[in-house]
Homo-oligomer: A and B are copies of this chain.
Amino acid sequence: MAPPAKTSRAEIVAAARAIIAERGVAALSLQQVAAAVGVQAPSLYKRFDDRAALLAAVHDALLEELAGVLAAQTLARPAQALAAMGRAYRAFAHRLDRLYPLLFASGGTPSPAALAALAPLMTTLDTLVGRAHSLPAARTLTAFLHGFVTMELNASFQMAGSVEDAFDFGLTAVIRGVIGGGADADAPAVDVARE
């Protein structure tokens, strides 16, 4: 006779997420997760291949949330939308906090979900800098955003100045730089070509 299931994939993911949010990924053990859902550790292997698969499930959930967060920032004027997405991304990262590193943990498998999450950013850049430059522009912007929030969540900004101001300054600068580089309208103020 089949005993009723004591837990579920969703419950396990939620428990793992809560533990990571509180103590970080490194501190997550399957035994803790199992205890949190009222089961013994080996039972988790009924629903997940291994620890990595459980982390991948958390990762997927976060990516889906990110997609929603960015999609909500599609405004009429694309430059405004871009800035709004940047700020929304940072706010999302702050909300995740110790969960944030999981958002980027590429388990080796390239995920279509990751591309989908960034789709609103890509289309906004398409209209703003043109298809020819939207990919490098997107990479520049995401690199800045990922780098900035990683550094602030790691407390890597050690000097005194306001991190808030630095983000506003940086986001504005990156958007300006990326827009200026997309069109060949005006020559760059300073030539930084290889020598």
Contacts and interface: CB of A to CB of B under 8 A. Distances in A.
Contact of A166 (B115, B139, B144): B139
A27 interface: no
B192 A83 contact: yes
Contacts of A99: none
Query: A87, A108, A110: which has the most chain B beta carbons within 10 Å?
Result: A110
Interface in A127-155: 133, 135-137, 139-140, 142-148, 150-151, 154-155
Contacts of A139: 148, 151, 157, 161, 163, 166, 169-170
A176 B190 contact: yes
A148 B154 CA distance: 17
A188 interface: yes
A172 interface: yes
A189 B177 contact: no
Contact of A192 (B106, B135, B172, B192): B172
Contacts of A114: 156, 158
A143 B142 contact: no
Interface string A32-45: 00000000000000
Given A137-B173, A172-B188, A173-B177, 9 more contacts: A83-B193, A106-B155, A139-B169, A140-B166, A140-B173, A143-B147, A176-B181, A177-B180, A180-B189
9 contacts: A80-B192, A136-B170, A140-B169, A140-B173, A143-B170, A144-B147, A170-B178, A173-B174, A177-B177
Which 4 residue pairs are nearest across A and B when measured between Cβ atoms?
A: A147-B147, A177-B177, A173-B177, A140-B170
